[in-house]
């Protein structure tokens, strides 16, 4: 049976939006699970080949696949040493663009337990992605991560 949508006042994204929003929520759930379980292969697959990530640091942007595979492996080493790092994505906004890309904005909670088990720390970051569609799914092509107190 076809879905009858609530009328949304001429919103051009009306038709595909619920499907897209659910898909993007699942996308981030999986991408963060790959990150936190240190599953570098599937995790790299969620980015384009030439994806770049800007982190809240003075360093230049990092090539996502190479730089973040390192990050994932470092997380695995830390976890073996007793530390924990969990990423949570929420407050997701999804804005399809005229050129067929997506822009998303979300808030990312990072919950870190230091090596050896000291008191956990919680950080909140803003994460803004540009995503492109290829091979039947979305891939992060550019990511900017910011934190107000590190601006």
The answer to the question of residue 19 lying near its own copies (CB under 8 A) is yes
The answer to the question of residue 98 lying near its own copies (CB under 8 A) is no
CB of 63 to its own copies, least distance (A): 25
Q: Answer whether 112's CB lies under 8 Å from 83's CB.
A: yes
Q: Answer whether 94's CB lies under 8 Å from 102's CB.
A: yes
Quick note: the x/- pattern for its own copies over 35-64, rule CB under 8 A, is ------------------------------
CA distances from 92 to 28, 35, 41, 114, 130 (A): 10, 18, 25, 28, 13
What is the enclosing helix (H) or strand (E) of 114? Answer: none
**Residues making contact with its own copies (CB under 8 A):** 1-6, 8-11, 14-23, 25-26, 28-30, 32-33, 79, 82, 84, 86, 88-94, 105-107, 109, 111, 113, 117, 120-122, 124, 135-137, 148-149
């Amino acid at each position: 049976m076809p879905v009858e949508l609530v009328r949304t006042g001429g919103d051009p994204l009306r038709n595909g939006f619920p499907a897209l929003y659910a898909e993007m929520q699942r996308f981030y759930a999986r991408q963060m699970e790959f990150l936190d379980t240190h599953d570098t292969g599937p995790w790299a697959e969620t980015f384009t080949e030439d994806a770049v990530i800007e982190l809240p640091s003075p360093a230049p942007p990092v090539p996502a696949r190479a730089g973040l595979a390192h990050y994932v492996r470092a997380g695995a080493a830390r976890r073996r040493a007793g530390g924990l790092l969990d990423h949570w994505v929420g407050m997701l906004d999804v804005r399809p663009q005229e050129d067929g890309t997506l822009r998303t904005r979300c808030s990312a909670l990072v919950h870190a337990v230091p090596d050896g088990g000291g008191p956990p720390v919680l950080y909140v970051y803003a994460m803004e992605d540009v995503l492109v569609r290829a091979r039947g799914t979305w891939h992060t092509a550019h990511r900017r991560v910011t934190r107000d107190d590190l601006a």
